[in-house]
Amino acid sequence: MSPEENKRLVRRFYEEIDRGNLDAMDELVAEDYLDHSPPPFPGFAPGREGLKQAFRMFWESTPGTHRIEDQIAEGDKVVTRLLAEGVQSGDLPGIPATGRTVKMTATVIHRIENGRLAEKWSDKDLLAFLQQLGVLPTPET
């Protein structure tokens, strides 16, 4: 696939997540998907199934959107800088629903193999995410 096709694949991945269409992951993500930066909550299965479990949990507890700010592709990798926004309307592990709006920036690298997302590395602003939910104090408090 060309770098532009790879970027389209990653954009579609986030669009399907934002629609809550986790069934699309069967088409977009390799079965043995390797997440080098998994969510900070334990208990997810490995591979594509674990990715679907994580996104299902976040979709049910903090439905929202991903806005792609920048994207760069070279070879089999796509780097995406994005902003995820949502409202925590449901419980997360150890974090009861707060009704608070949350915003989290992330820089994500996906590796594409055979037209599917095969690996992911990401740097998410989990500190700000947990502060917005009231789990950790902010500097002002």
Q: What's the pLDDT at 61?
A: 94
**Segment 42-100, tens digit of pLDDT:** 889 999 999 999 999 999 999 999 999 999 999 999 999 999 999 999 999 989 999 99
- Do 29 and 12 contact (CB within 8 A), yes or no? no
Confidence of residue 115 (pLDDT cuts 50, 70, 90): very high
Neighbour-count burial of 70, counting CB atoms closer than 10 A to its CB (0-12 exposed, 13-18 middle, 19+ buried): exposed
Q: What's the pLDDT at 84?
A: 96
| Structure tokens belonging to residue 62 | 């903090």
What CA–CA distance (Å, rounded) separates 131 from 120?
A: 25
Statement: residue 141 has pLDDT above 70? no
**Segment 21-49, tens digit of pLDDT:** 999 999 999 999 999 998 778 889 999 99
Statement: residue 122 has pLDDT above 80? yes
Radius of gyration of the chain (CA): 15
Nearest to 86, CA basis, from 108, 104, 69, 68: 104
Q: What's the pLDDT at 23?
A: 95
Q: What's the pLDDT at 66?
A: 97
Q: What's the pLDDT at 39?
A: 79
CA pseudo-torsion sign 137, 61, 16, 5: positive
Concatenated DSSP letters for the chain? --HHHHHHHHHHHHHHHHHT-GGGHHHHEEEEEEESS--SSS-PPSHHHHHHHHHHHHHHHS-EEEEEEEEEEETTEEEEEEEEEEE--S-BTTB-----EEEEEEEEEEEEETTEEEEEEEEE-HHHHHHHTTSS--TT-
Statement: residue 139 has pLDDT above 90? no
